[in-house]
Amino acid sequence: MRELIKQAFKSSIFEKQTIQMIYRKTILLAITELFGRNISAIDFQKILFLFSQEQKETRFDFVPYKYGCFSFQSLADKNSLVKEGYLKNHKNWKLESESNHFISYLNELDRKLLNKINSKFCKMTTNELIRYVYINYPFFAINSEIAKDCLSKKELEVIKRLKAKEDRKILFTIGYEGKTIDEYLCSLVKNNIKVLCDVRKNPQSRKYGFSKKTLSNACNSLNINYIHIPELGIEGEKRKKLKSSSDYDKLFSEYEVLTLQNQIAPINIILKYLRDYQRVALTCFELHPLQCHRTRIANSIHKLVPDVPIKHL
């Protein structure tokens, strides 16, 4: 691991994302080692969360999950570390080897911070850790199935008030470019989105979390319905030569005429979800809505139901 990290930071052949991935994994290994080399999944997520909240440059985002704060990215990195032979294949976070000193591979600020977190929380029980996180970061307890076992009625009321109650009918759009899967999912939760309509032609991504199966499973675990509507997608080949705003405008104008006008059934599916669930989001890759066909879909739906506003996330 030490040589891999050194190589990543010195070699120009490593892309930024690769360097970030290696450093994320180093954090996970350092926490596992520092907190006893065999740490429960719930405890691990709480410690990683507390560490991340104080980091100058955050490496992990979190969603409010059934046991509180949770990072889907950390679980993917854990599975990778198991395959690479650093962690054992257990529900707990357990090191494969006893001879490593991973905290020394972190930068100075993170090393000091992790030692500080260790000093403050290493003797807490699981329930004490849960209570600490829920009380100090109550938003991340809004979907918790165990909050009632750890908190008083008064403390539970605080969490209840933070849960999104907005149910006004809105058609959202969201792109995942530049977002982590956890940041993206958290945005859906905060906006009380009930249905995510994936309007990509080919719902595959090299970025973790955004391929169809993974995204669908993550959404379902947060009680968000996922539906893929490939009929409303645009072939990838047509996007390769887009450079200027006029290129995008031309492509999307053609898309409106050749695709949207002929796809009545998929549009009706979205309209049905809007009627039944109120809060629906259209998703694709591009960060900026004007550079994505999801905006044209949203506009076409708005013409049919002009009382339903569009909100770009």
Among 43-52, 237-246, 293-302, the range scoring the smallest mean pLDDT is 237-246
Q: What is the mean pLDDT of residues 202-206?
A: 93
Residue 166 is classified by DSSP as -
Task: Kindly state the average pLDDT of the residues 71-95.
Answer: 94
pLDDT of residue 106: 93
pTM (predicted TM-score): 0.91
Any idea which of 90-104, 112-126, 212-226 has the lowest mean pLDDT? 90-104
Beta strand pairing call for 68-70 and 195-198 = unpaired
Instruction: Between 204 and 251, name the one with better pLDDT.
Output: 204
pLDDT at 4 over 80: no
Mean pLDDT of 210-237: 93
Q: Could you give the angle at the alpha carbon of 262 between the alpha carbons of 258 and 268, nearest 5°?
A: 135
Host H or E run for residue 87: none
> Does position 172 have pLDDT exceeding 50, yes or no?
yes
What is residue 31's DSSP assignment? H
The string of DSSP codes covering 256-313 is HHHTGGG-HHHHHHHHHHHHHHSEEEEEES-SSGGGSTHHHHHHHHHHHSTTS-EEE-
> 185-200 burial, b for 16+ CB within 10 Å, e for fewer?
bbbbbbbbbbbbbbbb
Other Cβ atoms less than 10 A from the Cβ of 249: the count is 12
Q: With bands split at pLDDT 50, 70 and 90, how would you rate the model's confidence at 192?
A: very high
Angle, CA 16 vertex, CA 27 and CA 24 arms, to 5°: 10
- Would you say residue 269 has pLDDT above 90? yes
Mean pLDDT of the region 205-225 = 96
